[in-house]
Amino acid sequence: MTTADADLRRRAEEWIAGDVDPAAQDELRALLAQPDLAATDLADRFAGALAFGTAGLRGVMGAGSNRMNRAVVVRTTWALAETLRESAAQGSPSGTRAVPHVIVGADARRNSDVFVEDVAAVLGGAGLRVTLFREPVPTPLVAFAVKHLGAAAGVVVTASHNPPEYNGYKVYGDDGAQIAPPFDERIARAIDRAPPARAITRGVTQGVTQGIPRPLVDALRDAGRVAVAGDDLATAYVAAIRATSDRLARRDRPQDRTIPIVYTPLHGVGHRLMSRVLREAGFTAVTTVPEQEKPDGAFPTVAFPNPEEPGTMDRALALAASVGARLVLANDPDADRLAVAVASLPPEKGLRVLTGNEVGILLGHALLSDAGARATKSAVVTSIVSSPCLKAIAADFGARCEETLTGFKWIERRTIELEREGYDVLLGYEEALGYCVGNAVRDKDGIAAGLIVAELAASLAAEGKTLLDALDAIAERWGVFASRQMSVPKSPTMMRALRSSPPKRIGAEPVVAITDYLAGGPLPPSDALAFHLALGARIVVRPSGTEPKAKVYFDLRAPVATAEPLMAARAHANGRLAELMQAMKDVLASLPGGA
């Protein structure tokens, strides 16, 4: 046996001894029984610990420190409890020292029900108060409950739109937003010093390594440490997003709420609340894709439960075509994202799936152009890779538009800062189908966004128009904003090479400025570069933190000349965009080591 094999075996056996899950223990023992450990994935399972990153954890389920499993959940929750207790002992900025209260919920993925019980058990066992959603719920409902109940934190067991083999662990802070530095860094450090998930007996002379207390949840309920959430929280959530809709929607215009709508939760947890919200708002012709209505963590009818992926919305589009639906709404499995498709008029032209940028532009324009919104000190927040179109619209309406790093933890942090400055932040959005309307929920919310999109479509339908007509009107006033992204293989030297030898031209266009987000400035440092071209186009390159690829985002604006057909302007913009994409591929391929 090699030294490496011996070390790997030792780490695996220690993990087995401290694991709380007999099935996971057996899984590792079966791998250890193999004659050649190098032929197994055991080394990868123990290649460090699953990183506590973007607001929490996300990874493939399986046994081992580098997988998503009960032992990892228990140790992470212990670290969260320690961090919250430390904060309570130090006193919050408001001076309160109450026992921390945590909201806990989960989606319907495989093992989510087990993980969420472990979370509640560890928090309750640590002396914290817990409000537990025992039934699967959308992520936005948990985020809402944190803010609504004034809790110290929230935990959602979810992997959002990842494939079926994934699960995750998302944490909210006491402001209801995803945690950000330094709070996430404190939790990560606490994980490093967490004891084994269960007690390990070392022998009479060596004593016992203390494991993590994990009482039965029912016993914690009897002791008053865990309360099971009732329907009152869902009712309050529905009322809050309807109040946001009532405040922001244009009530001076008639609405046709009889428009046929098709909805799909993609086997996720959005159906109950989305259907309720639309029904209570007066929409009378909503049809849910029947084979995707019930939660199912296997996602049997889709290859990838992400509505951005080609083919994922095919069943919804087919049903919409068969029933003559004018609008299609789709949530991802935890209902924090929203995808939209629209039927053209006449309907024989079929349905078109809108991009995330198009939905964000429609929402932003509708909210900014509202008469009530113009009377306020208004703002919108987008990410550095979202379309610049909303910034142009906001400027014309006298509103503020801020850009943040990608991710809603940054969008909502900036939103909170702007609110402290007296701004009414109408919308936060990023191009990856994430939208936050108002501030009832401090995260992306596919259910609230779905209601606003439906109401906008109903207003346009009363005028004999569709969301596509609204996009045309926006393009005619502010120009055609064309956006696209591509993924390329990432080499270890790609970003360094782009910084040391940046291109002077991309295709036929000179590079006139470069923004290096790693240098910091008004935004936290991030490994991303933006190339600004002579004719106004922008190209952003950002390596993925979890996959061996980089994402490249392209944005440009093409003005619509007087009497120029809009179709011709769009064709020109898309042609120029295609040329830039090919030119950027050539730039990346020419780097040392390639892209």
Rounded Cα–Cα distance for residues 429 and 383 (Å):
7
What is the DSSP secondary-structure string of 164-186? TTEEEEEEE-TTSSBP-TTHHHH
My answer on whether 287 and 246 are in the same domain is: yes
Q: What is the pLDDT of residue 83?
A: 96
Distances (CA, A) of 349 to 344, 355, 499, 537: 6, 18, 46, 31
Same domain membership, residue 199 and residue 182 = yes
Residue 255, token pair as written in the block: 């609405």
Segment 97-114, tens digit of pLDDT: 579 999 999 999 999 999
pLDDT in tens, 224-245: 999 999 999 999 999 999 998 8
For 232: left if phi > 0, alpha if psi spans -120 to 50, otherwise beta; the answer is: alpha
Q: Which residues contact 442 (CB under 8 A, 6 or more apart)?
A: 143, 147, 172, 175, 176, 177, 412, 415, 416, 436
541 bridge partner residues? 529, 552
Q: Please, are residues 281 and 261 in contact by the beta-carbon 8 Å criterion?
A: no
Q: In CATH, what number is assigned to the domain containing residue 403?
A: 3.40.120.10
Of 224 and 95, the one with more pLDDT: 224
Whether 327 and 296 map to the same domain: the answer is yes
Residues 304, 265 share a domain: yes
pLDDT bin (cut points 50, 70, 90) of residue 544 is confident
Angle at 493 between CA 492 and CA 495, to 5 degrees: 105
Residue 518: how many CB atoms within 10 A of its CB? 11
Question: How many domains does the structure of the chain reveal?
Answer: 3
Task: Indicate whether 303 belongs to any domain.
Answer: yes
pLDDT > 50? residue 93: no
Contact yes or no for 588/594 (Cβ under 8 A)? yes
Determine the residue type at 232.
D
Same domain for 330 and 265, yes or no, is yes
**Which pLDDT value is given to residue 527?**
95
User: 290: closest CA among 313, 314, 319?
Assistant: 319
- Span between the terminal Cα atoms of the chain, in Å: 39
Instruction: Please say which residue of 181, 202, 229 terminates a domain.
Output: 229
Domain assignment present for residue 474? The answer is no
Note whether 400 and 251 are same-domain residues.
yes
Q: Are residues 224 and 371 in the same domain?
A: no
* Beta-bridge partner residues of 331: 338
Residue 594 resides in a domain: no
Which positions are annotated as active-site residues?
A: 160
Whether 416 maps to a domain, the answer reads yes
Answer whether 137's CB lies under 8 Å from 157's CB: no
Which residue is listed with tokens 């081992």? 64
Q: What is the CATH number of the domain that holds 569?
A: 3.30.310
Tokens 């945690």 found at: 179
Do 83 and 136 sit in the same domain of this protein? Answer: yes
- Residue 411 three-state SS: helix
How many CB atoms are located within 10 Å of the residue 323 CB?
A: 12
**CA gap 453, 329 in Å, rounded:** 9
- pLDDT given for residue 549 in this prediction: 87
Predicted confidence (pLDDT) at residue 55 exceeds the cutoff of 80: no
Whether 404 and 263 share a structural domain: yes
If one counts every other C-beta atom within 10 angstroms of the C-beta of residue 206, the result is 9
pLDDT, residue 240, reads: 96
- 140 within 8 A of 166, measured Cβ to Cβ: no
Same domain, 123 and 197: yes
Residue whose token pair is 């695996």: 12
**CB-based contacts of 311, cutoff 8 Å, min separation 6:** 302, 303
Range of the domain at 46: 3-229
CB 177 within 8 A of CB 54: no
pLDDT tens figures, 401-440: 999 999 999 999 999 999 999 999 999 999 999 999 999 9
Boundary-marking domain end, from 469, 497, 520 = 469
Please indicate, yes or no, if residue 306 is contained in any of the structural domains. Answer: yes
- If you average pLDDT over every residue of the chain, what do you get? 92
Give the pLDDT mean for 63-77.
98
Q: Domain check: are 244 and 342 in the same one?
A: yes
Rounded-to-integer distance, Cα 151 and Cα 157, Å: 17
pLDDT beyond 80 at 369: yes
Taking residues 311-316, what's their average pLDDT? Answer: 97
Spatial CA neighbour of 548 closest among 591, 594, 584, 587: 594
Domain contains 432? yes
Residue from 441, 447, 413 nearest 144 by CA: 441
Buried b (16+ CB within 10 A) or exposed e, 6-27: eebeebbeebbebbbbeebbeb
Domain C-terminal end among 469, 497, 516: 469
Distance between CA 264 and CA 271 in Å, rounded?
A: 7
Give the list of residues 6+ apart from residue 249 with CB closer than 8 angstroms, or none. Answer: 370, 452, 455, 459
The answer to whether residues 254 and 122 belong to one domain is no
Q: What would the pLDDT profile of 234-280 be if each residue is shown by its tens digit?
A: 999 999 999 988 866 555 678 899 999 999 999 999 999 999 999 99
Contacts of residue 537, defined as CB under 8 A and 6 or more positions apart, other chains included, come to 509, 554, 555, 556, 576, 580
Percent of the chain having pLDDT more than 90? 84
Q: CA 353 from chain center: how many Å?
A: 20
Q: What is the pLDDT of residue 374?
A: 60
Q: Give residues with Cβ within 8 angstroms of 424, minimum separation 6.
A: 373, 376, 377, 378, 379
CA 90 to chain centre: 31
**Phi, psi (rounded to 5 degrees) for 513:** -160, 155
Q: Rounded distance, CA 160 to CA 267, Å?
A: 12
29 within domain boundaries:
yes
pLDDT digits (tens, 9 = 90+) for 116-149: 999 999 999 999 999 999 999 999 999 999 999 9
**Banded model confidence at residue 593, pLDDT cuts 50, 70, 90:** low
Q: Would residue 595 count as lying in a domain?
A: no
Which of the two residues, 67 and 207, has the higher pLDDT score? 67
Q: How far is CA 343 from the centre of its chain?
A: 27
